[in-house]
Chains A and B, each alone.
Chain A
C-alpha cells in the first residue's frame, strides 16, 4: 500500500484498509523482536525528534526503541529541557525544530489540538503521541493490534472501556477505532467522568459496572488521575475503587477468558485490582510489546511515504 498521509493526528484519518496495513506491517516487525540483533537499516540516516512536552515513560521509550530498531536517529526533547519552560511558544518551537530538518516529529502535548497546530507548520511528518484530552492514535492502534493478535478479528466482540472517559484521549481514539473494526463499545464511569453528550458517541453508556461488564470480551481500564478528587469530580478514591475499580467479581460476569487491558501507568487497587493486572488473561504487557512494533510500523509507513 502506498502511504499518502503526511501526519497521524487521530485514527479518524485512517481507513480500515490502512489500519490493516499498519497491523500487517507491525506483524512483520514482530519477528524482528525475536532475533538476537533486533535492528534493521530501514530508516538509516533518517531522524525522528521525540518532543514530549508532557511527562511520559512508556510512550516515549516505545517510540525511541521503535526508531532505533529501524536505525533512525532519535532525538529526545522534554518540556523541562526545551525552551517552552523559558516562555517560547509552540509556534517558535515548531519552527526551530523544522529548521533542524527532521523526517518526523513525535509530539506529546498537554493541549488538545497541539499536534494539528504543529502539523500545519512543519513539512515533516507529525505523529501525535497524545494531545490533551483529544487523541492518542498510536495507543488505540496498539490496543487494537493486541486484541487483533489475540482474536484474529475484532468484529462482533464487545469491549468495555472503564474509567475516566471525560479526560481520556485514549478512550476517544479507541471508541473511534474499535467501531471502525466492527467491535461493540461500552463505556462505564460515574457521570462526573463522562464527557457531555457522550450518548452521541458510538458506544453504549453505563454507570453500573456489574451491568456494564456482563458478557464483554475485553475490558480496557483507564488510569484515574488522582487529582480528580480535588477537582470535585469524585468523593474519594476508596469509594471510586469500590464502585468502579475492576475486580475478580466483575470478571466472573464477563465472558470466559475476558481480556484485560490498561494503557498504563496503573494505580493498582484503584481502577484495577492488582491480581487482575497480573492474571493470565491480562494483556497489559502484550500491549507494551505491541506498542513497539506498531510504532515501528508507523514510523516506517510515514517516513517512507510517497514523495519521500
Chain B
C-alpha cells in the first residue's frame, strides 16, 4: 500500500463520518471514521465533523488578466476560487490582448503557477476568432498546444453562421469543445434587462428571450448536422431549455450551463424599490422571469442543463456606479457560488446529486478535466465546509477584486474552512 501522507479525520461525507487517506495527491481510501488511528508520518487534518465536499469546477470565469487587472488578476481570481471551493477554473478569452495566441495562454498559465503553485488549476479558453472579431479563425492548434482546453467567442458572439460552422469543425480537429454565448447579433444586443413587462415599465432597452433561443436553435442544428459537440453558455430562459431538451432527445451532442444568479434572481429584482436599476444585477443574458427560472430548475433536475458555472465577471466599483444604460454587464460570482447553490440544496430546490453533478463530474466530463469522486485514484481535491456558518457578503468578505454583486449585504450560509488540492492545503 502506498505511503499515506495525509489523513483527514472525522469528516462528514454524505451523512457518514469518514476518514480520508491520501497518498501523493490521490485518494487512497475513504473509510468509516476509526476511533483510534496510527498516523505514522502522515499529516492529520482534524475535520471535527465538518462537511466534506469534492472540489468544484467552474467552466466559465473572466479573470481579466492580461489587460484589466484593476478588475481582477489571475492571483486574485484564483484566491476567490480557492476560498470558493473550486479546484479548476476555465477562463474566457476576452482579455487585452485577447487570448488568441499561444503566448497569451502561456502567460496566463505561468502567472497562475507562480501565484498559486499548488492550485487552484487554471484552464484557459482560447478565442474562436482572432481578436474575438468574428472575421478570421484563431490559431486553435497553437492555442490548444499552449494549453487551451476549449474555444469560445464569449462576450462577442460570432455573427457569421458560416464562420461559426468552420470554427466548430476546426476546433474538433484538436478535440476541443466550442462554447457558445447564445445571443442573436441583432435582437437587443447586450441590453442587460429582459424584454417584457418590467423593462417596459422601467423604460430600458431590453433583450427578448428569443435572442438567446434563436442562437440555441442554430447551434443545435449545426451540432446535429456536423455531428460535433457544442456547449451552450449561461442559459437563462425556458425557450432555450426546451430546445436543448428536444435536441438531447434526438441525440445531439449538446451540453449546457446556467449560472447561480439566474436561480436566485429574476427581472423583478430590478423593479423593487430598494434595488430599482441596480447595475449590479445587469447581466448578459439578462435576469429573466420567474417562469424562466423554474424552467432552469427543472432543466437542472432532469439533466437538460448539465452544469452550473458562475460566469464570474468582476468589474471595478466605479464602472458599476453609473447609469444602468452605461454600466457593463456582469456579476462577481466565484466567492458566492457555493453558498448560494448549497443554500438551494438546503432549501430543497436542488438535489445534492444535481449539485455535485453540476459543479464536479459534469464540467469535468465535458472538458476532460480532473475530478474527484472520492474513488481510489482520484485527485485529492476536496474541501471542508461548514454549512451553518453565516457570513455577510461585502467588500471585506469577498476575495475577488470584483465586489459587483446584487448579494452585497446579504447574509449567506456556508463557508469553506479548509481546501485541499491534490492533497495539498491551499487555504
Contacts and interface: CB of A to CB of B under 8 A. Distances in A.
B195 interface: yes
Nearest to B195: A196
B268 interface: no
Contacts of A132: 203-204, 325
B410 interface: no
A116 B196 CA distance: 21
A114 B201 contact: no
Interface in A187-213: 195-198, 200-201
B325 A116 contact: no
B321 interface: yes
Contacts of B321: 89, 91
A196 B200 contact: yes
Contact of A196 (B208, B323, B324, B325): B208
Contact of A198 (B200, B208, B318): B200
Contacts of A169: 203
B276 A111 contact: no
Given A89-B318, A116-B276, A117-B277, A109 B200 contact: no
B206 interface: yes
B323 A114 contact: yes
A54 B302 CA distance: 51
B237 to A, nearest CB: 14
A90 to B, nearest CB: 6
The DSSP consensus for interface residues of chain B is loop
A187 to B, nearest CB: 12
B37 interface: no
Interface in B71-119: none
A90 B323 CA distance: 7
Interface residues of B, number: 20
B201 A172 contact: yes
Contacts of A91: 318, 321-322
Given A117-B323, A132-B325, A112 B203 contact: yes
B326 interface: yes
Interface string B364-401: 00000000000000000000000000000000000000
B323 A113 contact: yes
B325 to A, nearest CB: 5
Q: Which among A110, A169, A197 has the greatest number of chain B C-beta atoms within 10 A?
A: A197
Given A90-B323, A196-B208, A134 B202 contact: yes
Q: Report, as a range, how many residues of chain A touch the other chain.
A: 20 to 34
Nearest to B317: A91
B274 to A, nearest CB: 10
B264 interface: no
A214 to B, nearest CB: 26
Interface string A165-199: 00001001000000000000000000000011110
A133 B276 contact: no
B203 A135 contact: yes
Contact of B199 (A110, A135, A196, A201): A196
Q: Which among B208, B276, B323 has the greatest number of chain A C-beta atoms within 10 A?
A: B323
B346 interface: no
B197 interface: yes
A113 B324 contact: yes
A111 B323 contact: yes
Interface string B200-220: 111110101000000000000
Nearest to A165: B200
Contact of A116 (B195, B199, B206, B277): B277
Contacts of A133: 203-204
Interface in B37-71: none
A107 to B, nearest CB: 11
Given A134-B203, A195-B200, A113 B277 contact: yes
A42 to B, nearest CB: 31
Interface string A53-95: 0000000000000000000000000000000000001110000
25 contacts: A89-B321, A90-B323, A91-B321, A91-B322, A111-B323, A111-B324, A111-B325, A112-B202, A112-B204, A112-B277, A112-B324, A112-B325, A113-B323, A113-B324, A116-B277, A117-B322, A132-B204, A132-B325, A134-B204, A135-B203, A172-B201, A172-B203, A196-B196, A197-B197, A198-B200
Given A109-B323, A196-B197, 6 more contacts: A113-B276, A113-B324, A134-B202, A134-B204, A196-B199, A200-B200
